[in-house]
Structure 1
Amino acid sequence: MFVIHSKREAKEYSELGLICKLNEKFYECWKRYMEAINACPHHGFDTWLLVSYFYDGMFSSMKQLLETICGRDLMSKNPEEAMDFLSYVAEVSRGWDEPNKGEAGKNKSQPNAFNAKVGM
């Protein structure tokens, strides 16, 4: 786990507070976080600190999901790998909330196919 090393870092971290909002999707939280980082390109934070701030600012359920997906080693990755992993999870998680259109159509037609077979 990463540790805050100075009073300045602690103050800046406390101003950030909880990164993710209640009931916010992971990809929405990551998008907001990256927009804030990119809005200040000369922020001076090392990549490991940005990863740490994001991770520490997530709800425990989101942390558990991330740790499960990456095999329990997110915080042991090098900072660039961790950022890449978080970006990847944000990208793929967009589809987790959307029903699979192909599957939805199959589910609706299956009872009709069954009814046709039994003569209903």
Structure 2
Amino acid sequence: MADNRTMAQMLQAPIEGYEDAIVVPPINANNFELKQPLINLVQSNKFTGRQDPHNHLRFFNKVTSTFRHPEVPNTSIKLLLFPFSLDGEARDWLDKEPPRSILTWDDLVLKFINQFFPPSKTTYLRNEITTFYQKPNETFNEAWERFKGLLRQCPHHGFSELHQLDTFYNSLNTNDQDALDSAAGGNFLDKMPREGLAIIESKSKVRYSRSRPNDSRASTNAPSSTSSPSNNSFEIQQMAALLEDKMNIRMSRLEKAISEKNATTPATVKAVEEVCVTCGSEDQISTLILNKE
């Protein structure tokens, strides 16, 4: 069939091919509309392609679950709202998807996750979980929160609950392993997985674990690693000079008191204890006992 259009008409931009990638099933419900407050709530946490896509889906599912219509499937509402939750790189990705290529909510989730959480990232996080270990200065609670964070970042890791608990238990230092064994009344791994998880959660509520390697008691008794011998010597000299000054002042006062006392009533000094040179406290100087003859 001959094309009777003029060249000018042929050079015009086409009016077809502008359909969206997402196909929303027909909605025949009466009085159905997306309320602006719901759209605003979805847009309050836009995904740009730089955040965790799993966290975005969790937030989106939570928001859309608050809106229900008896005649409209929740998946249709999600398909309508999801484009409003994207921005920047993520919005560009959706716009570049072929028209009418996303037919269901599951299709959208699959393409979204594969785009912003590639298999290489899954492999990396699985390795981080498998080789997890408690850091030298990390408390039990900090280690447990970090371990759960890795699991949450990769919800499709595929590790069973038993594998997770076994990995975490064997990653701990000796003190924290002993604490879990003690809480379990024996060997921690002899417990059922659910019981073991409850024990870990209970112990993690103690914010400061006793197993932190740098014990505060040791740090107060030991000299700082940043202090050089010369600095320590100078500080000791200063302390000694200060104590000597305090002793001289105190002894002068005592001698004056003795002289004044002898001028009126002869007395003898029974005992005078030495000053504590480690703390320099004036309270540790014994009271001068004067006895009348």
The normalised TM-score by structure 2 is 0.27
Partner of 1:48: 162
What amino acid sits opposite 1:94 in the alignment? R
**In structure 2, what is the Cα distance between the partners aligned to 1:52 and 1:39?**
19
Q: How does 1:94-109 map to 2 (within 5 A)?
A: 94=207
**In structure 2, what is the Cα distance between the partners aligned to 1:35 and 1:14?**
11
Q: How does 1:1-120 map to 2 (within 5 A)?
A: 16-91=130-205, 93-94=206-207
User: Which ranges of structure 2 fall in alignment gaps of 5 or more residues?
Assistant: 1-125, 211-293
**What is the number of equivalent residue pairs in this alignment?**
85
CA drift at 1:72: 1.4
CA drift at 1:95: 5.7
User: Which ranges of structure 1 fall in alignment gaps of 5 or more residues?
Assistant: 1-11, 98-120
Identity %: 25
Partner of 2:45: none
Partner of 2:217: none
What amino acid sits opposite 2:178 in the alignment? Q
Say if 2:181 and 2:188, in contact at 8 Å, map to a contact too.
yes
For 1:35-54, what per-residue CA distance to the aligned partner results, in whole angstroms no more than 9, with x for missing partners? 11111111110100000000
**In structure 2, what is the Cα distance between the partners aligned to 1:89 and 1:44?**
26
What amino acid sits opposite 2:140 in the alignment? F
Which structure's relative contact order is higher, taking Cα pairs within 8 Å and 6+ residues apart? 1
Partner of 1:94, secondary structure, is: coil
Larger Rg: 2
The Cα RMSD (Å) is: 2.2
